[in-house]
Structure 1
Amino acid sequence: MQDDDLYAIWPLRLARGSGPRYRQIADLIERAVAENRLQPGDRLPPQRGLAQRLGIDLTTVTRGYNEAGLRGLLDPRGAAGTFISRRAEPAALVLDLGMNLPPPPLGCDMQELLRRGLARVMGRQDVHVLMTYQLAGGSAAERAAGAQWLSQSAEPVDAGHVLVTPGAQAALAAVILACSQAGDAIVSEPLVYPGLLAAAEQLGRRVVVAETDDEGMTPTGLERACRESGSRLVYLNPTLQNPTTRTLTESRRCDLLRSAAACGAQVIEDDPYRLFLDAAPPTMASLAPASVFHISTLAKCLTPGLRTAYVLAPDLDSRAHVLASMRSFALMATPLMSALAAQWIASGAAQDILDGVRAEAQARQLMARRVLQGAAVLTQAEPAEGIHQWLALPAPWTANALARAARDEGLSVASSDAFRAGVDAPNAIRVSLGAEADRAQLEQALGTLAGLMRSRPQPPRAAMV
């Protein structure tokens, strides 16, 4: 919006006897926002230009803008100018330590990256094409971008084996449908990503548990579970596992792959947190490319809003089977978001966001260790990486009791029951560090949680009748 257009819808009249002029400027901004004459994202006139138009000194306008900023009305963006901020949403009743989301990337202006990325997409692609049905599995450019992204983890990657999907949950469901029949079993660890449990239930599959040790699933446990259940599909989240944060060593990965091959089983390698680890072992897909479906989502390392995940299939036939399965419930990934993801990867913006998310996540991990020290046992070894922690609770707390007490304090945490695959759950909770955008608010939430864990559970309140 040009300054003249803005002045037309936002008439500025300073009146004598109506209080200090700087405060009148802030009041006029506030009134215009309340009356929807100024919208979130509108750019205000430069301070010097406004001072000239009003015939007042620059300092008064600066004070007026500062006052409006203190009221939460403005979003200063340096050389880009001063903008009307987004309207504040009603304060959340719960501080979210339960949802596993990446934190805001440190040092990245996501609004500017989004604006620039979409502008480039719109400049290079026909809008009609972006707004209509697309080939399922992604365009050649999108699959090439997926191959480039996956090459950080599993080299070399053939773009012909890559499938673009609308998120990891859709990818997981499609692979399960392609590789199993109704009533079949899927082998997993006792504590597992809840999305697997939900997908298995909805698709009529069973989840059976393999034996684990301190590192994770054991090869003998995998073979026994496959033999007893007849399963030909194994699910693993081998790097910074959700929820336990364990990472399988390269030797354990090789042993598990040999055991799976001996059972004629294929492996789903769900790897959303791999890029948080500085020295991650080789992917299972790179160790046994003929028998592993590798799923890599952008939701955990960049932003969930992209709704984009990549599947690396063992070969063209298996890719075609997964694609056919996905078409039964999701014809395609959202074209605009897939194109944006591809543009960000090609331009290097995705790497910048990843670096920022990693830096912020590391800072939050260190803060969480400091705040929670002595309140619970953190199972993750130093250095702390990833976006969640797995806390073994002190007696006499139980996971469900603590989750209820936390909710009473305005916090959400994930009880171990949410990850239980048909076995007794340990006395632990998962704490997620990315959902709260503000680091200070996260620290406050963690402090409240630490205080709870250091206290004793309160007996249930008697009902009033």
Structure 2
Amino acid sequence: MTAVEPAPTLVTPAAEQAASRAPVPQLAAPVPPLAARARSVGGSPVRDILAVTARPEVINFAGGLPAPELFDRDGIAAAFEHVLAHSPAQALQYSTTEGEPTLRAGLAARVTDRGLPTAPGDLLITTGSQQALSLLATALIEPGDTVLVENPCYLAALQVFGLAGARVVAVPGDADGVDPAALEEAIRREHPKLLYLVPTFQNPTGRTMPAPRRAAIAEVAARRGLWIVEDDPYGELRYDGEHLPWIASLPGAEDRTVLLGSFSKVMAPGLRLGWLRGPGELRRACAVAKQAADLHTPTLNQLAAARYLDVLDAHVKRVRSVYCARRDAMLAGLPAALPAGSRWSRPAGGMFLWVRLPESYDTLALLPRVVEQNVAYVPGAPFHVGEPGRSTLRLCFVTQTPDEIGEGLRRLARGLAG
């Protein structure tokens, strides 16, 4: 059978003329680049590690997660049910940027009871204390401003300051925290805008700044003209010793210290409730920044938290008892788990232990080998400004039971031994 060839296509002069006028397809131009601050600041290494170690068989000492079995599910559910039953229109409506009056009043009473006289109007409710840090950066920091920090430092604070375009400078210190003489020298040399501190059960080291050191820091800040940001997410988780005064309550610091707090570690992190207490002009600037960010923290969560404040102290007492036993279990197991020559902190509260292995160890390079043993930690390097501290690591002791902690430390020993 003979194939039939297709008929030739006839191109008329009119068609040729139209084709010559048709636009030539062009490649699309690239979109404008991301802002420089978004390109220069990476994600959190801790979050990256948590994503890798989320398997249920992994005993995860890397996170900073409260123990979920200790959440007061019944008490929190009752608080939400009461709010929705008695004030649904208010609970499901927009609220004021500064925060629900009932929560601010209850929180002001708690802060006052701990030695810092506080009125409801002194407080701004935030969507977690992490947002409070971001609002302060917006209100205070111009690109190129210098921010002084502890070394090592809370990792997410370094991210906030980096996104704000700040120069971050570490102040030398010791086992008690920032050294006042070194702070004085850093202020003279760097002309900073603020000093960021976690004085109580610091993240990542677990150390606590003693009262005389706090007073010395307050005196330097008052004399040299410096903002202090005092972050206190762990202060209610004390297992040993006596409560220490906030820097914000000390002479000379009252008009220049911003105190940050959180309900995440003592109530539930999923509620995303934090707070900021600060001088009026700065607090109002943070409220304007919050209006632009999210208008207000969720009304329903605020009202439920205000209701739950009545039983919060009893809940925190139970949590402290459990966490204390878990801290002690980790301290008891570390000598057999770590190589000879290792050192570690003995925190009086909080959630973390800080470990320094012998200098020959690189905890970032060792992590994949340790994860193969189904256990995880956070390498210490990302918490440092400047010299990375490659032999350091952070362990969280609150999420696992004492038996799980013991097994996790045995796995850690195998991973470190190779």
CA deviation profile, 1:400-441 (whole Å, cap 9, x unmatched):
1332222222222111112112333252110012334x5543
Pick from 183, 186, 189: which aligns with 1:228? 189
Which consecutive residues of structure 2, in runs of 5 or more, have no partner in the other structure?
A: 1-53
Residues 1:114 and 2:79 aligned together: no
Q: 1:371 aligns with which of 318, 326, 333?
A: 333
Alpha-carbon offset, residue 105 of structure 1: 6.6
- Alignment partner for residue 338 of structure 1, among 295, 302, 309? 302
The residue number in structure 2 matching 1:132 is: 93
Residues in 2 aligned to 1:104 and 1:408: alpha-carbon distance in whole angstroms: 25
Q: Is the 8 A contact 2:116 2:248 kept in 1?
A: no
Matched, 1:206 2:164: no
Contact kept in structure 2, 1:166 and 1:309, CA below 8 Å = yes
Give TM-score, length-normalised by structure 2.
0.80
**Contact 1:403–1:413 (8 Å) recurs in 2:** yes
Match of residue 295, structure 1, among 257, 260, 265: 260
SS in 2 for 1:134: coil
Gaps of 5+ in 1: 1-89, 458-465
Q: C-alpha distance in 2, partners of 1:408/1:113?
A: 39
Change (3 A) 1:264 1:430: same
Q: Distance in 2 between matches of 1:396 and 1:209?
A: 24
Paired residue type of 2:187: C
Q: Give the drift of 1:138.
A: 0.5
User: Residue 97 in 1 paired to residue 61 in 2?
Assistant: yes
Does the C-alpha gap of structure 1 residues 258 and 426 become closer, same or farther in structure 2, counting only changes over 3 Å?
Answer: farther
Q: Relative contact order: is structure 1 or structure 2 higher (C-alpha 8 Å, sep ≥ 6)?
A: 2
Residues 114 and 283 (structure 1 numbering): CA distance in 2 closer, same or farther, change over 3 Å?
same
**Corresponding position of 2:396:** 432
Identity, % of aligned positions: 26
Correspondence 1:329 to 2:293 = yes
Determine if the alignment matches structure 1 residue 281 to structure 2 residue 244: yes
User: Which residue pairs with 2:141 in the alignment?
Assistant: 180
In the comparison of the two structures, how many residue pairs are matched?
358
Partner in structure 2 of residue 195 of structure 1 = 156
Q: Deviations over 1:170-198 (max 9, x none)?
A: 01111122222222111001210011111
Q: In structure 2, what is the Cα distance between the partners aligned to 1:91 and 1:195?
A: 24
Choose the corresponding residue for 2:415, options 430, 439, 452. Answer: 452
Q: What residue identity is the alignment partner of 2:344? A: T
Matched, 1:360 2:325: no
The one-character-per-residue Cα deviations of 1:431-456 (angstroms, maximum 9, x if unpaired) are 012334x5543432232113434x2x
Q: By how many angstroms is 1:93 displaced?
A: 5.1
Note the alpha carbon deviations across 1:187-215, whole angstroms, 9 max, x for none: 00121001111101222222111121232
- C-alpha contact 1:105 1:357 (8 A) present in aligned 2: no
SS in 2 for 1:274: coil
Match of 1:386 in 2: 350
1: CA distance between counterparts of 2:372 and 2:138? 40
Letter in 2 for 1:446: L
Superposed CA RMSD in Å reads 2.1
Q: Residues of 2 paired with 1:134 and 1:178: CA distance?
A: 22
- In the superposition, relative to structure 1, how do residues 434 and 237 fare at CA in structure 2: closer, same or farther (>3 Å)? same
Please tell me the residue identity of whatever aligns with 1:153.
R
| Matched residue, 1:313 | 278
Q: TM-score, normalised by structure 1?
A: 0.72
